Structure 1
């Protein structure tokens, strides 16, 4: 992904990429390598999207994406440009649990490697975004609030932005605007911009479930000397009505050895309790965590994070959305599924189509 791509025979163009998760960074980097001018806008403090790590006194948590797999040769070639950054996670003790928290069946070792970036999941996206940041092409802490036609350049685009500090600005001169956002957010931005993209109606059919995530740290327990706290497995897909996934963060390579767990609520439970008070959600998920793992110790660190758009339930069914006549496009994992690789492929293919 760091190798320069062959320059297009077409003149260089200017692109605005909205969102700096995996899809946005893959898209922006591909366009930049093809010789185009790119400005990437990200409302969060730094790039990462759903790979964002949450820091705590006990160590970091992969609050969103837990691991990734590699099935597309293009993704593998991109990973080869950052050797050693990602390492296999041997979570071969994954179990399927029943609603009472008992081990119902042992899952066989996964048929494909599970990979994690080090020292946290967002390291991969942040590393790929760094050249753009150094070139001044990544504007973090900057939300795009409106997309509109360029007032000085017919056929072009400009975007209005607002920083976390409240400063507003207009960025003009773009040939195309590419939305690397969850489908509902892309749809909302088009609506508040009073724009009707030709592919806009396709967004309505995409369903992305929310997710409440609980992060627990036990400073009194440090691996690998730990032998008594919790189960022997390091990850589980659960059938408990509240919990869909649990992972021992300290079992992942390159992490702090302080015992830490990430607990992700099920899509159905997260939808039902999406607007609940965070403290209430934390208490309910902590109770469910104890039921599933048998860990009754009081955590020294506990917090929750709500992801409004976490896991695609009904994908678009094609890699990206693009209309050459208007210069508007969209990409994201939701185009193909919910895997991190889906986001990469979507961003890459949109860039190749738009370039």
Structure 2
């Protein structure tokens, strides 16, 4: 039977970030059934948006580019979910906030999802969620051969309240998680040993992210606080990136900043508690931007797996005989587009 004639199969997809949702959409379009398992409360992964009393923050991915024609085509199917973000003001700053180099390359359009970065994945996931294909707040703890049909797979899961469950009857299991989590799950499966060493070569850096709001900047007669630019790469030892959230299209007007720490500093302070990390990053933010005002809102997020330092070097892993696959941005790099291409090409290999 050719791949075009293959009977519909049922696949378990672990992870509802852009790689997992892209993979799922492609399989469904090819006539297959999917069940997506996501440990968080919603789809998105690092395409994340956090609300506050002062407006939202894109506390994961800040923007994305679109170079692959397949990604561009996918974005065109939901044009209302994305808008260009004029990043002409992006600069590179030294430790004192001085501009040392021009901004990001102008040939790459910078896109953001609207009204928040999470919206793109959420929008793509809506039909899957409406069809009952997504199990949220469900963490997969083990993958193993089906107890009744050994040629199929079953998943052992745990919900937020500790309730355990077994989902069975899958023709294949596709992991769309951070590399470390994929590695941990694959170790529970004797059939995935050849991949373990490959995954151990992948290196992914953590990132502390700081979120600040300055509603006082909205007072009559008071212009925006701090610098005239809206986003910047930084060589400050604590900070790698800063962005004025209110400068992005479709966002609330209150002055808000998202600050992403450098990989080295984040690794060094990976075990700090949130108040300690926030205080250190706030001090560095003041040094770089010149904003000395007290923020009305301070929040943070510690991403354990944020930016790929050494990728897998191929878009995915797929073993048709075993019915096991792996995808994620870390297969190719750290871009949103890398996650899309990885999820797409795994699905295409499956079908």
Q: Does the CA-based 8 Å contact 1:93-1:109 persist in structure 2?
A: no
Q: Secondary structure at the match of 2:13?
A: strand
Structure 1 residue 175 displacement after superposition:
0.7
Show the 5 A alignment for 1:122-161: 122-161=118-157
Q: Does the CA-based 8 Å contact 1:22-1:340 persist in structure 2?
A: yes
Larger helix proportion of the pair: 2
* Count of matched residue positions in the alignment of Structure 1 and Structure 2: 349
Q: Partner residue of 1:104?
A: 100
Structure 1 residue 143 displacement after superposition:
0.6
Q: Partner residue of 1:27?
A: 23
Query: What is the CA–CA distance in structure 1 between the aligned matches of 2:164 and 2:219, rounded to whole Å?
Result: 48
Residue of structure 2 aligned with 1:44, choices 40, 43, 68:
40
Q: Does the CA-based 8 Å contact 2:95-2:287 persist in structure 1?
A: no
Show the 5 A alignment for 1:82-121: 82-107=78-103, 110-121=106-117
Query: What is the CA–CA distance in structure 1 between the aligned matches of 2:235 and 2:221, rounded to whole Å?
Result: 30
What is the root-mean-square deviation in Å for CA atoms of aligned residues? 1.5
Q: Partner residue of 2:332?
A: 336
Q: Partner residue of 2:288?
A: 292
Query: What is the CA–CA distance in structure 2 between the aligned matches of 1:77 and 1:83, rounded to whole Å?
Result: 10
Task: Tell me: CA distance 1:150–1:129, structure 2 relative to 1, closer, same or farther (3 Å).
Answer: same
Residue of structure 2 aligned with 1:15, choices 2, 11, 18:
11
Structure 1 residue 112 displacement after superposition:
1.2
Query: What is the CA–CA distance in structure 2 between the aligned matches of 1:116 and 1:225, rounded to whole Å?
Result: 30
Query: What is the CA–CA distance in structure 1 between the aligned matches of 2:271 and 2:187, rounded to whole Å?
Result: 24
TM-score by length of 1: 0.95
Query: What is the CA–CA distance in structure 2 between the aligned matches of 1:119 and 1:347, rounded to whole Å?
Result: 24
Q: Secondary structure at the match of 1:325?
A: coil
Structure 1 residue 325 displacement after superposition:
1.4
Does residue 276 of the first structure (1) align with residue 276 of the second (2)? no
Q: Partner residue of 2:345?
A: 349
Q: Secondary structure at the match of 1:170?
A: strand
Structure 1: unaligned runs, 5 residues or longer: 1-6
Q: Does the CA-based 8 Å contact 1:198-1:323 persist in structure 2?
A: no
Q: Does the CA-based 8 Å contact 1:223-1:250 persist in structure 2?
A: no
Q: Partner residue of 2:192?
A: 196
Q: Does the CA-based 8 Å contact 1:241-1:269 persist in structure 2?
A: yes
Show the 5 A alignment for 1:198-347: 198-222=194-218, 227-347=223-343
Structure 1 residue 226 displacement after superposition:
5.1
Query: What is the CA–CA distance in structure 1 between the aligned matches of 2:241 and 2:146, rounded to whole Å?
Result: 46
Query: What is the CA–CA distance in structure 1 between the aligned matches of 2:295 and 2:153, rounded to whole Å?
Result: 50
Query: What is the CA–CA distance in structure 2 between the aligned matches of 1:241 and 1:225, rounded to whole Å?
Result: 35
Structure 1 residue 102 displacement after superposition:
1.9
Query: What is the CA–CA distance in structure 2 between the aligned matches of 1:268 and 1:109, rounded to whole Å?
Result: 25
